[in-house]
A and B are shown apart, each in its own frame.
Chain A
Amino acid sequence: MTDTIKRIAVRPLSRILPARIRGEDPDKIEKENLKIRHEQMRDFERVRSNIRLLLIIVMFACIYIAIAARLAVLASSQPAEPVAQANNSLIFAQRADIVDRKGRILATNLETYALYVETRHLVDPLNTAHKLANLFDDLSAKDLYSEFTGKRKFLWIKKKLSPEQMQAVHDIGDPGLRFGPRQTRLYPNGALASHILGGASFGKEGVHSAEIVGVAGIEKTFDQQLRNPTRSKKPLKLTIDLSVQAAVEHVLEGGMQLLNAKGAVAILMEVDTGQIVSLASLPDFDPNHRPRVPVRGAAAESPLFNKAIQGVYDLGSTFKIFTVAQALELGLIDPKTKINTTGPIKIGGYKINDYRNNGPELPVWEVITKSSNLGTARIAKLIGPEKQREFLSSLGFARPTSIELIEAKGGKPLLPKRWKELETMTISYGHGISITPLHLATGYAMLANGGRLVKPTIIEEVKLELGPRVISKEVAHNSLAMLRGVVMGGTASIADVSGYFVGGKTGTADKPSAQGGYDKEKNITSFASIFPIDNPKYVLVVALDEAQDTSGPEPKRTAGWTAVPVSAEIIARVAPLLGLRPKFNNNSTLSLTLSNWHE
């Protein structure tokens, strides 16, 4: 500052002395000079601070411009993985595997290539078209040639190539033939558990990659999770047991062929957790080559249709145990109460009768073992429509099951619109209400675990606790004793698998015919069983569509001759696989209860 402001003396003698001589006040001169000096200093400071302000503005502007430029660059450039610490994209692009409860692979990915053509690079379109048509049966040389020489610059030829096919295409040697890397979903077990897995196909496709999207089953339900790159190394674990599933499907398929059935269902469920160990619906399909959804005909006829969770059927007498359990729970009857079984009951222009004459009366437990429609209908009359509907709704029979398969939503039970006395009586033995076999399995699991509801699940991660209590332990115990009675001396005696005490209830329901009414020659036979019944661990539901045993002189169509032997074989095969140790001496409280009733 000293350099820039010119210092001028505030009391210059050259002015003071003449002023004194003139008799003026010399201080005025000093004041005047001081004023000038201060003005100069103020001007200087102003200029300086203006410069500083300008510098700060320029500096901030530079910073802001730099930040904005960086943002613009980030926004407009392609994202790149930080190379130093991130994993390679080859690893990240994977869809997570699906494994069974023991970690065996049910679905995984495979590296493959897609074939496409860039027509401007083709050297010899005619020759290439012919050679490609020779390689792939579904391509025609004529169509290919017209595509190659047409307006299109780019076209896909094949979405997946096997290594052999790829080599063969390489050997054609035309530079216009290009390969795009692909990941494809592989189901190494073929058709096994196909309805659970569903299937996957390609979503958005590019030359360098294509996304895999789930189209059905577990692949669709958990699509987001399976595609999530942060979870790609964590496989989705199902509650299915591969070897049990294989054994179940093997036996079921054999049974279906022997009995000339149109379709078959088997569900094996843990009674305490609701976890599904095996779920099979036949006919099935290969998810590696998932068939197209049929455009014509009934959806239920397609192999894609999952009968176990989508199909709703009148499941017949398997329902009777629910009626009896409810009446026991309400205290209306006890297992030894005699029930009138004289028939027929005529109600609303409808006749209820028994399959065979059971005499004038039966104790409640024998109503179950002999499967009396009349007895069950009369018990249901005691319960009444309102309470019956409440009870069946509390078992979850009024809405689709909550299993984690996308198709489950389609399995909406069919309940009567008008639920009066007639409906109550027919529903008591399983007619006039249609539910899925999975609903039935859930209901039997409730009886087997002592009366608590379970939610069916197929995902290992879901740790389910028992739901609310529906019936008391004692009622559950008595129901199990009756189910054991069915196998020991009732309609399901073939199911008495040595070593594993089986209890269960058969059901034979005529199918509604196209002309209205019921078709006597076509039925759905089912067997819902619990094993080992003295310490219940598993529920098995088997249902067969239009099965008949033609080994005798007359075809046998009841469940006792169709669903029961198939179930027995399944239990004999899978119980050892499930780690159940057979027992050959029966001294459980259940058999005690049964023998008490016999007296």
Chain B
Amino acid sequence: MRGLIYTITFASLVGLAFWAYQENIKTKSAIAHTEKLQKEIGIARARLSMLRAEWAYLNRPDRLTELVDLNFARLQLVPLRASNFSEINEINFLGDPDLPDVVSLPVRLTLKANSRD
């Protein structure tokens, strides 16, 4: 009887040791994988922030103003002014019955064009 208990205990010790060894290996590889992913995320973020900075740099007001001036012949963009607004009753809807009710439309219809700021 005692011999049997000893045998079982020893066998389970060997089994557990094997299991622990495997878990250790798995954990290590998972950590290595995480590290690699973190590095990739870090690089991606650095690139993202670089792109954001570039985007902000390309959209700086100075450059946009210059572009507007350069392309004036083609685009004819001018700063938005009070004269670019108009009243809702000044809009000609050509009496199209399919158009929605005038009153329920958003008011600032004329705001879209002609802004360069």
Contacts and interface: CB of A to CB of B under 8 A. Distances in A.
Nearest to B82: A499
Interface string B58-97: 0111100100000000000001111111000000000000
Interface stretch (B6-14, B15-23, B32-40): B32-40
Contact of B85 (A105, A243, A581): A581
B82 A577 contact: no
A90 B45 contact: yes
Contacts of B84: 576
A498 B52 CA distance: 39
A88 B43 CA distance: 9
B52 A87 contact: no
Given A105-B53, A247-B79, A190 B42 contact: no
A74 B63 CA distance: 53
B101 interface: no
B113 to A, nearest CB: 12
B99 interface: no
Contact of B56 (A83, A104, A576, A577): A104
A573 B46 contact: no
B82 A190 contact: no
Contacts of A109: 49, 53
Interface in A72-100: 83-84, 87-91, 94
Contact of B46 (A90, A242, A500, A577): A90
Contact of A573 (B31, B39, B65, B117): B117
Contact of B42 (A88, A246, A575, A581): A88
B16 to A, nearest CB: 24
Contact of B65 (A250, A499, A500): A250
A572 B82 contact: yes
B60 A83 contact: no
B49 A498 contact: no
B117 A243 contact: yes
Contacts of B85: 499, 576, 581-582
A340 interface: no
A225 interface: no
A246 B83 CA distance: 21
Given A83-B31, A250-B65, A91 B82 contact: no
B60 A188 contact: yes
B60 A189 contact: yes
A94 B50 CA distance: 12
A16 B18 CA distance: 69
B46 A576 contact: no
A100 to B, nearest CB: 10
A88, A243, A582 — most chain B CB neighbours (10 Å) = A88
A188, A247, A572 — most chain B CB neighbours (10 Å) = A188
Contacts of B34: 83-84
Given A188-B53, A189-B61, A582 B39 contact: no
B111 to A, nearest CB: 8
B52 A105 contact: yes
B25 interface: no
Contact of B117 (A84, A87, A104, A247): A247
Contacts of A582: 82, 85
Contacts of B45: 90-91
Interface string B92-116: 0000000000000001100000010
Nearest to B87: A584
Interface in A377-406: none
B2 to A, nearest CB: 21
B117 A246 contact: yes
A250 B34 CA distance: 50
A207 B60 CA distance: 33
Contact of A105 (B39, B56, B61, B79): B56
Interface string A102-115: 00110011110000
A88 B39 contact: yes
B61 A110 contact: no
B50 A111 contact: yes
Nearest to A86: B38
B56 A94 contact: no
A192 B62 contact: yes
Contacts of B50: 110-111
A113 to B, nearest CB: 13
Contacts of A364: none
Interface of B: 30-31, 34-35, 38-39, 41-43, 45-46, 49-50, 52-53, 56-57, 59-62, 65, 79-85, 107-108, 115, 117
Given A188-B60, A581-B85, 13 more contacts: A83-B31, A88-B42, A91-B41, A91-B42, A104-B59, A105-B53, A108-B56, A111-B50, A186-B53, A192-B61, A192-B62, A576-B82, A576-B84
15 contacts: A87-B42, A88-B39, A89-B42, A90-B42, A91-B41, A94-B49, A105-B52, A105-B53, A108-B52, A108-B53, A110-B49, A188-B60, A192-B62, A576-B115, A581-B107
8 smallest beta-carbon distances between A and B, as pairs: A90-B42, A499-B82, A246-B61, A88-B42, A188-B56, A582-B82, A105-B56, A188-B57
